[in-house]
Amino acid sequence: MIDRSMVTTAFELPGYRAERSLGVARGIIVRSRSVVGSIGASLQTIFGGNITLYTSLCERARQDAFERMLREADALGANAIIGMRYDATEIARGITEVLCYGTAVQAIRG
């Protein structure tokens, strides 16, 4: 598996050079809110502030998409990912797609 320190949002990795680009690696996850979670989050909105139920749902979705991207890049033979980004789209009410993507590369020191 690719070491997390070898993933960057920049287009270069300090101390390394991309010897070979292996294409785009992506991880995608589609999540929906549960009825219980939606009710709990609605109650939290009454009091204002951070809606922790949605925060944890979003964080889990991003983490899952990130892990899937790492597995795909690893399968391509990469040891690093540059230009990593997240994107999210609401597919339907309460259903969100989270995409994590970047360029899978073979990076060498130097």
């219980």: which residue's tokens? Answer: 36
Chain segment 79-99, per-residue pLDDT in tens: 999 999 999 999 888 789 999
Q: Does some domain include residue 44?
A: no
Beta sheet of 95-109, edge-to-edge order: 16-32, 95-109, 80-92
Q: Does some domain include residue 93?
A: yes
Q: Does some domain include residue 47?
A: no
4: Cβ contacts below 8 Å, ≥ 6 apart: none
Number of domains in the chain: 1
Q: Does some domain include residue 15?
A: yes
Contact (Cβ atoms closer than 8 angstroms) between residue 102 and residue 7: yes
**Least confident residue range of 48-57, 58-67, 101-110:** 48-57
Please determine, for residue 17, whether its predicted confidence score (pLDDT) is greater than 70.
Answer: yes
What is the four-CA torsion angle of 33, 52, 69, 80, rounded to 10 degrees? 170
Please determine, for residue 44, whether its predicted confidence score (pLDDT) is greater than 60.
Answer: no
74 is in which domain, residue-wise? 4-32+63-109
Categorize the per-residue pLDDT at 5 as very low, low, confident or very high, splitting at 50, 70 and 90: very high
CATH number at residue 87: 3.30.110.70
DSSP 8-state secondary structure symbol assigned to residue 50: -
